[in-house]
Every structure is written in structure tokens, then in C-alpha cells.
Amino acid sequence: MSPQNGASNPNVIGESPIFTPRVINDIHAKAELGRYRMRGFSMFKPIPHWDQLMFMPGTLTRFVIEGYREKCETKTVLGARFAKRPLELDIPIYVTGMSFGALSLEAKMALAKGASMAGTATCSGEGGMIPPERDLSTKWYYQVIQSRYGFNPHHLMLADAVEFFIGQGCKVGLGGHLMGQKVTEQVAEMRSLPAGIDQRSPARHPDWLGPDDLSLKIQEIREATDYQVPIQLKLGAARVYDDVRMAAKCGPDIIYLDGAEGSTGAGPHIATEETGIPLMAAIPEARRALEDVGLADEIDLVVAGGIRNGGDVAKCLALGAKAVAMGHSMLMALNCNKEIPGVTDYEGTIGVKAGSCYHCHTGRCPVGVATQDPELRKRLVVDEAAERVYNFLHTLTLEVQMLARACGKTNIHSLEPEDLCALTTEAAAMAKVPLAGTTYVPGVTEERALSEIKSLLAKHVANEGGRDV
């Protein structure tokens, strides 16, 4: 009689949950390569995520709003603090900065056109401005990034908002990466680099080091742009409370927080897995910081990182974000990870199935999104892709509205932490909302109980003192 599986084979003791076949393979690969492994995409290991939060809509204790009939406002205004022209978006979602270089020209154009159709903004990303993207964007962020690749003050004057890139959630503390395959003559020229090099962008800005210098740098950009447009600081989520307090001190109009779930076009696998904190944990900390410095009503909070659907967007808004920026999901709307019969062959060309591709860094994107290869780029038809981007943005907004109306809100920005509960204690502790079916918020409940005990004790001591014992 032969054993059917390992469990019934008396010679097999078991297998390690720590040194899994994947871990062992990783060690083998590094022993061959002699360097860290690069990849694109989001986080691969499981972390607490938006799936662990639920909405608690109106029933009898809350009055619900009629779907399809009663208005639920989605207009979103960012940066009205000091800017003469705040950024007015029709929806609470915009397309985050992704560089020309990481993305193809066609991808940048389709995102710009789709976002404009939806009444929202796009962002230049790292590699400088490409005129077709600016032409197709009705609202456009220009990024002041560490490398300043292609940074041009004339382009700065064309911006509707300026974003200081200080870090990204996926690889907090690191600069950008663009592997040599994607550093074509055109990309290299825009960035003033030799063609074909493995480009590692600086992690620090060239002209300021700490928050005090950053205050002055913001002043410089405001002077150069005549206070016309909002200034946004993009931070990778790490020590959020202290970072946001410092960021607020620097005087921006908007603070953008990027959670660890965010994606990259190319990054060291070790950094994408091991840096940052989940967005769910970051938003309440950011709100607390803004309230503690007295600027919660003045500085707007934009968040990003691993947002997939209208539910995720609505949860971000409920926790205190004013708007949500999306990157990788927008690329999926363009066709990322989609097998197109007769056109793509993911397994044959990349070595993995569509749906499991994380090979943006190789420049061999089968759908023409994350590539500079002229033949692959032809696979992305700008107008059709723009339509899909618009459809996706529109659907996300409908989903947010649906949840907001169910929670009794006539404005999506009225969503609040009160509307949420958590499915796990971890999520409850991070998002600071109660565990479903209870009033328990880990950390907060204990803190309250402790302060109650302290005040009772103080009263008791005072009373005992009065009796002169």
C-alpha cells in the first residue's frame, strides 16, 4: 500500500512554514544573482487591509438617502488654504503620479484623457512633462521629485497643483528606479542621463534636507508660481503622527499619504515588502496629528496605496481623507494583467499567467502600458483605453455614492469613522473603529477605562484626604 500524500507517509515529518519552497527559491536566486531582486507591483505578503472593515449603514437609527433619485455630492476641492486657484475635482479620486519612462506615452495619454473625461486630475510623475499628457489633462499636478529629472520652471507654470514627492508607500525612504531596458534615448534625454543605464533616483531632495529647509522650499515654489496653485506634500506612510505634524508645520495646502500597499513600476522586492505601514493605520494617525496642530480644517488629506474599488475609496473618506489617488488600479483599467486573445501571451513572454504579472520593471509589458518598446506600445489604443479609465473612475464614484447614501449622507465627504466597524481586532486597533458587534476599540477603550479609573482614584483620594486619615 503506497501513501497518497505526505501526511500519510510515515517518512515525512512535515515542512517548515518559515522556510517555504518560495523562501528557499529566493535564497537560491540571490545566491546566483549577487544582488537584491527587482520587481514591479504591490505588496506580496498579507497585511491588514480594507477588506477587514465594513460599513454600518442606516436602518432605524440612521435615515438613508434614496439611490438614483436624491443627490449625493461628489465634488472635491483640494488646497483652498493659500492657493488662489484651489484644485476643483468632480470626483474624490484622481490618477496619481507615474512617470513617463515607467509608463508608455500611450498609457500616460490614456490616463490623462480618461481622467479629464471623469472631471479629475492626473500627475506628471518623475520623468518631467510630456506635452501630449498636459494637453489631454484638464487638471494636472506637476511633481517636484528628488531627482528633478526633466524639471522645468516653464512646465511648473502650467501646473494646476504642485506635488513635492518625499516618499512613496511601497518603498518608503528610497528613490525611484528605472531599469536600463526602459531608459531609451528619449527617456534618457528628458532626464539628462546616459541612455541604457540602470537609473536609481536620489532618495533625498537636492536642495533641502529637513523640515525647516522644506518650509523655505515651499515658499520658493509659492513665490515662483505666484500663490496660484496648491502645494501638496506626498509622504510614504511610516511614523505618520510625527511626520504629518512636521509636514503641517512646513506650510503645505495638502498632505498626501501613501500606504505600504502602494505599487511601484520597479523596486527592490525587499523594500516593497518591508517598508511602511498600512494606509488603514495611517489615516487616523494623520487626522490626529492635524487636529493636534490645529490645522485639521485647513490642510486637506489625500491618501493612496492599494485602493481597488469604491468600497476602499469610501472607507478612506470615512476615516478622514478628502480625496484618494490611484495608480496601479488605473493601469489595470488600461489592461494591465489582461490576456488579450491573439495579441498577448503572458506565459510565453513573461513566464507567468495574466493576473500574476509583476514584471513592469523589465519593460516587456505585454499590453503596452509599462514599456517603451514600440511594438508593444501599439497594443494600447489611447482612445479605447481612455474610455476604460473613464468607465472605471465613474464606477468607483457610483460605488462611493452608493455606500454614502446607504449611510445617510448627501455628500460623500460626510462619511465618518462612525459609519465603520472592523472584522478583526488588528483592523479595529489600526483604523480606530469598533470591532463589529462591540464597542471595543483596542487601545482606545483601555485608555478610556484607565482615565476613568484615574479620575475615580483622584476623587477617592480627595475624599479620604477630607476625612483626615
Q: How far is the CB of 294 from another protein (least distance, A)?
A: 6
What is the Cα–Cα distance from 283 to 42, expressed in whole angstroms?
Answer: 19
Alpha helices in 58-192 (DSSP H): 105-117, 131-136, 153-156, 185-191
Backbone conformation region of residue 8, classed left if phi is above 0, alpha if psi is from -120 to 50, else beta: alpha
The pairing of strands 139-144 and 199-200 is unpaired
Does 131 bind another protein (CB under 8 A)? Our answer is no
Does 292 bind another protein (CB under 8 A)? Our answer is no
Residue 235 has which C-alpha cell?
509622504
Q: How far is the CB of 57 from another protein (least distance, A)?
A: 35
Residue 93 has which C-alpha cell?
479620486
Does 457 bind another protein (CB under 8 A)? Our answer is no
Q: Which one of 56, 64, 80, 158 is in contact with another protein (CB under 8 A)? A: 80
Q: How far is the CB of 143 from another protein (least distance, A)?
A: 13
What is the Cα–Cα distance from 372 to 369, expressed in whole angstroms?
Answer: 9
Measure CA 409 to chain center: 25
Spell out, one character per residue from 210 to 239, where the chain touches another protein: x when CB under 8 A holds, - when not: ---x-xxxxxxxxxxxxx------------
Does 124 bind another protein (CB under 8 A)? Our answer is no
In terms of CB distance, is 199 or 335 closer to another protein? 199
What is the Cα–Cα distance from 102 to 267, expressed in whole angstroms?
Answer: 11
Residue with cell 496642530: 293
What is the Cα–Cα distance from 357 to 382, expressed in whole angstroms?
Answer: 22
Q: Which one of 131, 294, 342, 465 is in contact with another protein (CB under 8 A)? A: 294
Q: Which one of 82, 117, 391, 398 is in contact with another protein (CB under 8 A)? A: 82
Would you say the C-alpha torsion 114, 234, 262, 149 has a positive or negative sign? Answer: positive
Q: How far is the CB of 87 from another protein (least distance, A)?
A: 16
Spell out, one character per residue from 83 to 102, where the chain touches another protein: x when CB under 8 A holds, - when not: -x------------------
Q: How far is the CB of 322 from another protein (least distance, A)?
A: 17
What is the Cα–Cα distance from 370 to 389, expressed in whole angstroms?
Answer: 16
Backbone conformation region of residue 448, classed left if phi is above 0, alpha if psi is from -120 to 50, else beta: alpha
In terms of CB distance, is 204 or 448 closer to another protein? 204
Q: Which one of 51, 207, 292, 446 is in contact with another protein (CB under 8 A)? A: 207
In terms of CB distance, is 264 or 337 closer to another protein? 264
Does 29 bind another protein (CB under 8 A)? Our answer is no
257 membership: H or E segment, kind and range = strand 254-258
Which residues, 6+ apart, have CB-to-CB distance to 142 below 8 Å?
123, 124, 129, 155, 156, 158, 159, 161, 162, 163
Q: Hey, is 397 helix, strand or coil?
A: helix
Does 298 bind another protein (CB under 8 A)? Our answer is yes
What is the Cα–Cα distance from 330 to 159, expressed in whole angstroms?
Answer: 21
Q: How far is the CB of 320 from another protein (least distance, A)?
A: 20
Site for another protein in 240-259 (CB under 8 A): 248-251
Q: Which one of 56, 77, 156, 423 is in contact with another protein (CB under 8 A)? A: 156
- The backbone torsions φ and ψ at residue 140, rounded to the nearest 5 degrees and listed phi first, read -145, 125
The Cα angle at residue 116 between residues 114 and 117, in degrees rounded to 5: 65
Q: How far is the CB of 130 from another protein (least distance, A)?
A: 17
Q: How far is the CB of 247 from another protein (least distance, A)?
A: 11
Q: How far is the CB of 129 from another protein (least distance, A)?
A: 14
Spell out, one character per residue from 176 to 205, where the chain touches another protein: x when CB under 8 A holds, - when not: ----x----------xxxx-xxx-x-x---
**Residues at the contact surface with another protein, assessed by CB under 8 A:** 33-35, 80-82, 84, 147-148, 151-154, 156-157, 180, 191-194, 196-198, 200, 202, 206-208, 213, 215-227, 248-251, 293-295, 298
